[in-house]
Amino acid sequence: MMRLSPAMTWSRHGHDIFVHGERQVLKLSNCAPEVDVLMRLLEAGCDAGAVDAIRLEPAHAAKILEWLRTANCLVENDSQLWMGTPAERQADYFSALGANPDEAQVIIGSVHVALLGVGGIGTVVLAHLVSAGVNRYTLIDGDIVQSHNLNRQFIYGPADVGRSKVDTAADWIGSRNPSADVRREPRMLTGRADLISVLSQDITLLVVAADSPSDIGLHAAYACLETDTTLIGADCGLRTASWGPLLEPADIPAYVAELESARAALPVPPATRPMTASFGPTNAIAASYLAKDILHWLAGLPVASHRRKVVIDIGSGTIDAQGAGLRARTENA
């Protein structure tokens, strides 16, 4: 099945046909009316037999197809399997980027994701993953829903205040996907031993969305190293937000060594608790980029945070793929 890329549209102006993409507009000059039939077929998706059946000289049709193919306007792994389902437009997205949508959706539906924290970062990631078709979760959080969570943790509402976050999140998942498999861990897992115990339960990916204790990322890395689990996380401050690195098991030993070295070289001790200031849009920025990289990883597409942390300056919108170091300021008493 071949198809005009779902990222593109076409139009006729006089004798010419234009193919409109995000970064380019291509012109095919002096097109007979039969070319419109070909473009409509490609827009809907068709096989070679359907092209042969139209009243267009085969050599001319082949030339147009080759022109579209060379310009990356033609998708040749298109699938109709997801038509009419919630994954329809997502399958188009994968097709447009060159991934096989059938393979991508099967993988997305079969992975088991553990979320360490279902708060400002975790709930936004969860919403994206549920909407994308992930079916298996382990939710880890010992907190309850509080009124000050509602500015950014959008799966919770006023009626949920006082309830366990993992129970409320599990109910929300069930409302979107009644067949989802959700395991609940209503406790804070801050040590590697407890994390190892949970990650040993056939988990594909751990998302670190907790901000305390300050060394939770290191404990999570050690636990993922022990259990052969892929790791990613995100955090959000007042002026910066970051996500990554996404680390497959083979990447984690070097990362652990880097974390240990960085911790030993800190110019000042780490904070014992996170700041209380929190803003919904900045949480959503970091969490949405993280979710995008998870889904790209599962679909076999490029991942911006693969083996690196990506930092966004919230004020300017600039991105630093190398991360930012801690600067110490010392004042005399």
Identify whether residues 67 and 200 lie together within a single domain. Answer: no
d(CA 228, CA 226): 6
Judge whether residue 173 has pLDDT over 60.
yes
Averaged pLDDT score across all residues of the chain: 91
Domain boundary among the residues 52, 75, 98 is at 75
Would residue 119 count as lying in a domain?
A: yes
- Beta-sheet strand order (sheet of 25-28): 9-13, 16-20, 25-28
Q: DSSP string spanning 207-238?
A: EE----STTHHHHHHHHHHHHT-EEEEEEE-S
- The residue behind tokens 């209503």 is 186
What backbone torsions phi and psi does residue 207 show, to the nearest 5 degrees?
-105, 115
Identify whether residues 178 and 290 lie together within a single domain. Answer: yes
Task: Kindly report the pTM of this predicted structure.
Answer: 0.90
Identify whether residues 57 and 120 lie together within a single domain. Answer: no
* Banded model confidence at residue 153, pLDDT cuts 50, 70, 90: very high
Identify whether residues 188 and 275 lie together within a single domain. Answer: yes
Identify whether residues 10 and 154 lie together within a single domain. Answer: no
Would residue 325 count as lying in a domain?
A: no
Would residue 130 count as lying in a domain?
A: yes
What residue numbers bound the domain in which 44 lies? 3-75
Would residue 84 count as lying in a domain?
A: no
Beta-sheet pairing, 74-75 with 3-4: antiparallel
The CATH number of the domain holding residue 219 is 3.40.50.720
* Banded model confidence at residue 269, pLDDT cuts 50, 70, 90: confident
Identify whether residues 16 and 148 lie together within a single domain. Answer: no
Residue ranges of alpha helices (H) inside 100-155 are 101-110, 122-132
Residues 236, 310: contact at Cβ < 8 Å? no
Cα 78 to Cα 46, 115, 269, 307: the distances in Å are: 9, 32, 54, 31
| Amino acid 333: pLDDT | 35
Identify whether residues 115 and 235 lie together within a single domain. Answer: yes
Would residue 87 count as lying in a domain?
A: no
Number of domains in the chain: 2
Q: What is the mean pLDDT of residues 103-125?
A: 97
